[in-house]
Amino acid sequence: MAGGDGVSVGAVLFLTIIMAMASGIGAVPFFFVGRLSPRWSGIANALACGVMIAASFDLVHEGEPYGSSLVVAGVCVGALFIARMHSILHDQEDIRFSGFDGADARKTFLMIGIMTAHALGEGCGVGVSFSGAKGWAQGQLVALAIGVHNVPEGMAVAAVLHSRGSTPWTCASWAVVTSLPQPLLAVPSFAFVETFQMLLPFGLGFAAGCMVWIVFAELLPDAARGAGA
């Protein structure tokens, strides 16, 4: 199957897998540092907050041309969804995730889940970009941009995990996992571009709403406490 100016599904899959793997590069600095002190853990969480807020604005901006009202609806639904998930998880005192338990497990689970949801929207956007008369050139450019963008996002995921005691390899693995929805969604969105264009603005807004909520409700307060603010 091919689209645009002869773009194949295989080519889209290959490029977007490489794009997703770039997230692991964000964990590289943590192979050279030991366990972070509480102050540096707070700074790492603050870094994650900045990256996630910037990514949220990018998602809203990307979705606006496809339907601003659907983007706004997605933001609201995303924030309400994560608030509800947080409430449910808060009642589970014995929750464990990636070697953590209790509050750390809940926060880490939400962080991983939200960054994964964020990647779903980006995957749709990349797949759609490969369509059209200039799909190959346009798609390569978008894939390269998202790949570069994935590095600091991978660092944000790694920073939160490392600040809670995860090994560098665990940080790198989860950073890549959070980006794997990009190639998984890019292929069907490329193959069924019209359908995914309709869903794209709501999905991008949903991911942005999720990230904004977790930043202000969880990560930013943790960063302030850790940094001694």
Domain-embedded: residue 159: yes
How many residues are present in the chain?
Answer: 229
Helices (H), the chain: 9-21, 38-63, 68-90, 102-129, 135-163, 168-179, 181-191, 193-214, 220-226
* Within-domain flag for 229: no
Nearest to 22 by CA among 211, 153, 157, 189: 153
Q: Determine the Cα angle at 178 with ends 172 and 183, to 5°.
A: 110
pLDDT digits (tens, 9 = 90+) for 204-225: 788 788 778 878 877 788 777 7
pLDDT in tens, 94-113: 677 666 776 777 777 877 88
Give 60's Cβ-side CA count (13 Å radius).
17
Cα separation, 114 vs 103, in Å, equals 16
In a domain, 138, yes or no: yes
| pLDDT value of position 172 | 94
Find out whether 71 and 205 touch, Cβ atoms under 8 Å: yes
Which residue range is the domain that position 158 belongs to?
9-29+36-94+102-224
* Structural domain count of the chain: 1
- Between these two residues, 48 and 1, which has the higher pLDDT value? 48
> Is residue 65 assigned to a domain?
yes
* Bridge partners for 8 per DSSP: 2
Distance CA 149, CA 159 (A): 16
Q: List pLDDT tens digits, range 7-18.
A: 788 888 999 999
- State the Cα–Cα distance between residues 161 and 115, nearest whole angstrom: 13
Give the CA-trace dihedral at 211, 74, 146, 140, to 10 degrees.
170
Query: Would strands 2-3 and 7-8 be described as parallel, antiparallel, or unpaired?
Result: antiparallel
List pLDDT tens digits, range 196-205: 778 778 877 8
Structural domain includes residue 109 = yes
Q: How confident is the prediction for the chain on average, in pLDDT?
A: 80
Q: Is 196 inside any structural domain?
A: yes
Q: Which tokens is 114 given? A: 């939200």
